[in-house]
């Protein structure tokens, strides 16, 4: 399509969403896939969602897996990989717990806490460090960090950067840092906490849509993001994610309307909500 045709298509597409006449997102995502990568606009989430939904990066098909759609690599894939890595860490640590060794009167929660090895975060290989930070900070909300550490993300980022020193591919915490315990606790949180934000948010989509429509010179006064976001979430239904260790996570829309994923750390199924239905416009409560 040329520029005029793209403008006409998008105007018509969003008008059809407003009237409820059309709720098929495939034409929109096909358009996104058709846009050249070198255009001066930043829409990485829209591109990745389109790849996931359109099944453009299908690996070699396996017998009986015709309905499983592998995901493209990108921001969302890395976010899902980090959730899987946290579950793997938890599964690994739970497997090592022996509650028979707990002292009399000690609660299970206190015993589990006593077995946490915070020392692993004092010295980390470059890959391990980079897997947690800095992108891992974006998995959690400002409210979460303020509640747990009394700091915003900028303050936490500064603390980590000042607390570690890289030497020969190893990140070591500096012993003279007055905030060692807080830093260790933050890194532990980045490594294991499941209290993550939505896999992708309506605000992120709003920013990308603004960039796309601005680039095309389209002035649409409709609530386009609120109309599009639920369809983008639903487009991930039945998408499969293959992690570095070969294990597969299946995304799905639950009966309640949440976007969820069934992960298999240690080949044991864990289901996590990735986007809560309450955060999806026009779908709350059903």
- Backbone region of residue 266 per phi and psi (left: phi > 0; alpha: psi in -120 to 50; beta: other values): left
The residue with greater pLDDT, 80 or 217, is: 80
Task: Decide if 138 is inside a domain.
Answer: yes
Q: Which of 226, 241, 204, 240 is closest to 283 using CA atoms?
A: 226
pLDDT in tens, 233-285: 999 999 999 999 999 999 999 999 999 999 999 999 999 999 999 999 876 44
Instruction: Label residue 53 by pLDDT band (50, 70, 90).
Output: confident
Over the stretch 55-101, which tens digit does the pLDDT of each residue have? 644 333 333 444 444 445 799 999 999 999 999 998 888 777 666 67
Instruction: Give the whole-angstrom CA distance, residue 94 versus residue 192.
Output: 12
CA distances from 280 to 198, 258, 284 (A): 10, 9, 6
Domain-located, residue 50 = no
User: 3-state DSSP call for residue 37?
Assistant: coil
Asked if residue 211 lies in contact with residue 41, where contact means CB atoms within 8 angstroms, the answer is yes
Task: Examine residue 211 and state whether it is found in any structural domain, yes or no.
Answer: no
Is 59 within the bounds of a domain? no
Q: Does 205 fall in a domain?
A: no
Domain boundaries, position 91: 76-192
Distances (CA, A) of 34 to 15, 170, 271: 21, 42, 34
The dihedrals phi and psi of 116, each to the nearest 5 degrees, come to: -70, 130
Which among 188, 199, 191 has a CA at the least distance from the CA of 272?
199
Q: What is the pLDDT of residue 54?
A: 73
Task: Say how many domains are in the chain.
Answer: 1
């Amino acid at each position: 399509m040329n520029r005029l045709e793209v403008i006409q298509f998008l105007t018509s597409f969003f008008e059809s969403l407003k009237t409820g006449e059309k709720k098929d997102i495939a034409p929109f995502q096909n358009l996104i896939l058709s846009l050249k990568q070198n255009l001066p606009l930043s829409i990485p989430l829209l591109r990745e969602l389109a790849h996931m939904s359109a099944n453009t990066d299908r690996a070699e098909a396996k017998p009986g897996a015709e309905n499983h759609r592998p995901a493209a690599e990108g921001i969302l894939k890395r976010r899902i990989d980090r959730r899987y890595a946290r579950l793997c860490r938890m599964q690994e640590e739970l497997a090592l717990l022996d509650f028979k060794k707990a002292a009399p009167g000690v609660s299970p929660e206190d015993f589990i806490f006593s077995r946490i090895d915070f020392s692993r975060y004092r010295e980390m290989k470059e890959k391990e460090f980079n897997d947690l930070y800095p992108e891992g900070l974006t998995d959690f909300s400002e409210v979460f960090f303020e509640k747990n550490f009394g700091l915003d993300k900028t303050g936490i980022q500064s603390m980590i950067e000042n607390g570690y020193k890289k030497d020969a591919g190893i990140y070591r915490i500096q012993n003279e840092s007055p905030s060692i315990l807080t830093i260790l606790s933050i890194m532990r949180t980045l490594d294991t906490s499941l209290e993550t934000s939505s896999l992708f948010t309506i605000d992120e989509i709003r920013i990308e849509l603004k960039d796309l429509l601005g680039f095309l010179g389209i002035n649409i006064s409709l609530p386009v993001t609120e109309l599009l976001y639920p369809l983008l979430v639903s487009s991930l239904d039945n998408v499969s994610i293959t992690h570095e260790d070969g294990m597969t996570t299946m995304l799905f829309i639950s009966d309640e309307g949440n976007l969820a994923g069934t992960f298999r750390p240690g080949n044991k199924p864990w289901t996590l909500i990735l986007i809560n239905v309450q955060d999806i416009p026009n779908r709350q409560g059903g």
